[in-house]
Copies of this chain bind each other. A is one copy, B any other.
């Protein structure tokens, strides 16, 4: 008698969020339709509004959840830190690129984060905090701990490395303009490694592409 209190089932919440994901990622916040979310999730409209007070709360909950899922970006899929620098960096970069190629949802998520960053700055900041910053930190720490890499400013080197790759992904995959500014993936990575590591240390890698 005291507490027959059941709560809104977390499974339903997840079902709703999964349905909302398709619709929000495809159409953005303003373009998404609650009725479509309802249909995609296979729940009733009333249930959606029992779990979330309004569209905006549903949207932010979804994006926050995605920005916290490091698995989505395979941040755990990191090459061994004991690897030699050229191999480590190349595998790291290839991991990012393969990740993007294999899962188009990542591109759509990037579009949302950037596209809605003026209206939902906290979502953008959560993304940077959970995804971008850890990547930059890891790379910076790696460069610092391998002093045989003669890099004067590891933090900037990490930014240059990641920034170059992300810019490449934005041009090629997000903006779908790989044919307008063509660039071979392996050429970019090999030349980038030379820039970051200095010419000498990466030459041995040139014929063994992983």
Q: How far is the CB of A20 from chain B (nearest CB, A)?
A: 16
Interface residues on A, range: 35 or more
Give A71 to B136 CA distance when docked, in angstroms: 33
* Known A-B contacts A156-B191, A160-B164, A167-B166; A181 and B118 likewise in contact (beta carbons under 8 Å): no
Residues of B within 8 A of A188 (CB): 156, 159
Interface string of A92-119 (1 = CB under 8 A from B): 0000000000000001101111111110
Evaluate contact between A177 and B124: CB separation under 8 angstroms: yes
- Chain A interface SS verdict (over half): helix
Evaluate contact between B152 and A191: CB separation under 8 angstroms: yes
Evaluate contact between A191 and B157: CB separation under 8 angstroms: yes
Give A128 to B181 CA distance when docked, in angstroms: 8
Give A92 to B199 CA distance when docked, in angstroms: 25
Ordered by A's residue number, 25 sampled pairs between the chains whose C-beta atoms are within 8 Å are A29-B31, A30-B31, A107-B118, A108-B118, A111-B117, A115-B115, A115-B116, A124-B176, A125-B175, A128-B180, A133-B180, A152-B191, A155-B183, A156-B187, A156-B188, A157-B191, A157-B195, A159-B167, A159-B168, A160-B192, A163-B163, A163-B164, A163-B167, A164-B167, A167-B167
